């Protein structure tokens, strides 16, 4: 399965494949296979990418078009 958004997120953040690969603890060549859709991305890598880019796994895999996730401050506000 090809996840176009991982390439888009990487490019939007001015990162090289080797930089993102280093964050994931894999080689640039292996990471490249994710972007091409030749390898399945493990959930642990999806979690790391979502946290790194400040988005959700749902956005990365195309289940939503909402890129930004709400900050903790907004989701935990108490009302009187």
Give me 50's structure tokens. 């979502």
Largest CA distance in the chain: 53
Q: Is the pLDDT score of 62 beyond 80? A: yes
Q: Is the pLDDT score of 69 beyond 90? A: no
The predicted pLDDT at position 5 comes to 94
Share of the chain above pLDDT 90, in %: 74
The predicted pLDDT at position 71 comes to 67
DSSP assignments along the chain, one per residue? ---HHHHHHHHHTT--HHHHHHHHTS-HHHHHHHHHTSSPPPHHHHHHHHHHHTS-HHHHTTS-S--SPPPHHHHT----
- Secondary-structure class of domain 4-67 per CATH: mainly alpha
CA atoms of 25 and 2, how far apart (whole Å): 20
pTM here is: 0.82
């Amino acid at each position: 399965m090809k996840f176009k958004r991982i390439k888009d997120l990487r490019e939007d953040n001015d990162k090289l494949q080797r930089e993102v690969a280093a964050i994931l603890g894999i080689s640039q060549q292996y990471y490249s296979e994710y972007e091409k859709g030749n390898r399945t991305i493990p959930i642990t890598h999806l979690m790391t990418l979502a946290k790194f880019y400040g988005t959700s796994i749902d956005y990365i895999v195309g289940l939503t078009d909402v890129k930004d996730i709400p900050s903790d401050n907004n989701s935990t506000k108490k009302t009187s």
